[in-house]
């Protein structure tokens, strides 16, 4: 017994090694479920993480292409919607036929002045002319002021000299929008008589009287109404539907009948 203990004591590392080695061979030969499960779980985790990272990288570098595709699809849908509305309302006197839109990218945008302007990457060579209306998917942006061959500047809604003919959707009341030079997210709604029942949350849209914009384009939403002013009109503030801090793409409104309308109105 003593000799056995001496033998084990002398060769304990070797015995332990062969014991563990034998157990390993046994597990491999029997195709242990636990061993295989651990192996495949580790393998799947590593390969899954790799492919996820690879997909994230490819997705990141293809964002520009995807965005451009979505913008083109959006422009197509806007044009088709305009054509569809013309067909549906072709008996209405306020219907605007001949509308089309040109997509442009904003390359400069001022916000901290009293008279702010926006520059876009489209000009005369793309069919842009002075005094055309400019909108986005969120609402009114402004109108074209100056045009060169490849660029145009827009008088922004955030320009104290810009006035927009509007209508309050819920009451059908005509009004006028003007920015007071304060908050770039808010503007004033002018010339709404005090006898008109108003509520916070009412929608403000473009009117049919404005020849450069299609009717019913979003402008904003009423956020405050002050009746206690020395005037026959409310003091109304609205929040603009467009966030001018984040605009990147706009649509120039092309109305083939607008020139005819303007010439007719200039006749004596």
- Percent above pLDDT 70 for the chain: 60
The pLDDT assigned to 14 comes to 66
Per-residue confidence (pLDDT) for residue 255, from 0 to 100 = 79
Residue 3 lies in a domain: no
Band of residue 44 on the pLDDT scale cut at 50, 70, 90: very low
pLDDT at 93: 37
Identify the helix (H) or strand (E) that includes residue 31. Answer: none
Residue 4 in any domain: the answer is no
Residue 60 within a domain: no
The band of 65, judged by pLDDT with boundaries at 50, 70 and 90, is low
* pTM beyond cutoff 0.75: no
Q: Is residue 67 part of a domain?
A: no
> Range of 227's domain?
89-265
- Decide if 41 is inside a domain: no
Q: What is the pLDDT of residues 138-197, one digit of tens each?
A: 999 999 999 999 999 999 999 999 999 999 999 999 999 999 999 999 999 999 999 999
Residue 151 CA to residue 33 CA, distance in Å, equals 69
Helix (H), strand (E) at residue 23: helix 12-29
Count of domains for the chain: 1
Do the Cβ atoms of 254 and 99 come closer than 8 Å? Answer: yes
The pLDDT value recorded for residue 120 is: 95
The domain that holds 211 is classified in CATH as 2.40.10.340
Q: Is the pLDDT at 94 greater than 70, yes or no?
A: no
The lowest-confidence range among 15-24, 34-43, 128-137, 211-220 is 34-43
Asked whether residue 33 is domain-assigned, the answer is no
pLDDT for position 160: 97
Q: How many CB atoms lie under 10 A from the CB of residue 205?
A: 18
The answer to whether residue 87 scores a pLDDT higher than 70 is no
* Residues 250/256/257/261 CA torsion (nearest 10 deg): 70
Nearest alpha carbon to residue 207 among 173, 252, 232, 233 = 173
Contact 196, 141 (CB under 8 A): no
Note whether residue 105 is domain-resident: yes
Structural domain contains residue 83? no
């Amino acid at each position: 017994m003593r000799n056995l203990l001496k033998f084990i004591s002398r060769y304990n590392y070797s015995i332990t090694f062969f014991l563990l080695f034998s157990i390993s061979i046994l597990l491999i030969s029997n195709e242990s479920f636990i061993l295989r499960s651990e192996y495949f779980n580790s393998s799947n985790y590593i390969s899954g993480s790799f492919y996820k990272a690879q997909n994230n990288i490819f997705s990141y570098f293809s964002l520009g292409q995807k965005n451009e595709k979505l913008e083109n699809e959006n422009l197509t849908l806007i044009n088709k919607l305009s054509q569809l509305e013309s067909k549906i309302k072709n008996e209405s006197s306020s219907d605007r036929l001949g509308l089309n839109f040109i997509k442009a990218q904003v390359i400069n945008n001022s916000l901290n002045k009293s008279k702010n302007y926006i520059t876009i990457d489209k000009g005369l060579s793309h069919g842009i002319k002075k005094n055309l209306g400019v909108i986005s998917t969120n609402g009114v942006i402004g109108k074209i002021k100056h045009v060169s061959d490849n660029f145009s500047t827009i008088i922004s809604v955030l320009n104290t000299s810009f006035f927009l003919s509007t209508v309050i959707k819920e009451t059908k009341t005509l009004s006028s929008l003007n920015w007071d030079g304060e908050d770039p997210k808010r503007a004033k709604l002018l010339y709404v008589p005090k006898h008109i029942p108003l509520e916070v949350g009412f929608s403000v849209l473009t009117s049919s009287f404005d020849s450069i914009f299609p009717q019913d384009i979003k402008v904003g939403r009423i956020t405050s109404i002050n009746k206690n002013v020395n005037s026959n009109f409310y003091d109304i503030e609205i929040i603009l539907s467009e966030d001018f801090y984040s605009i990147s793409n706009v649509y120039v409104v092309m109305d083939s009948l607008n020139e005819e309308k303007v010439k007719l109105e200039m006749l004596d």
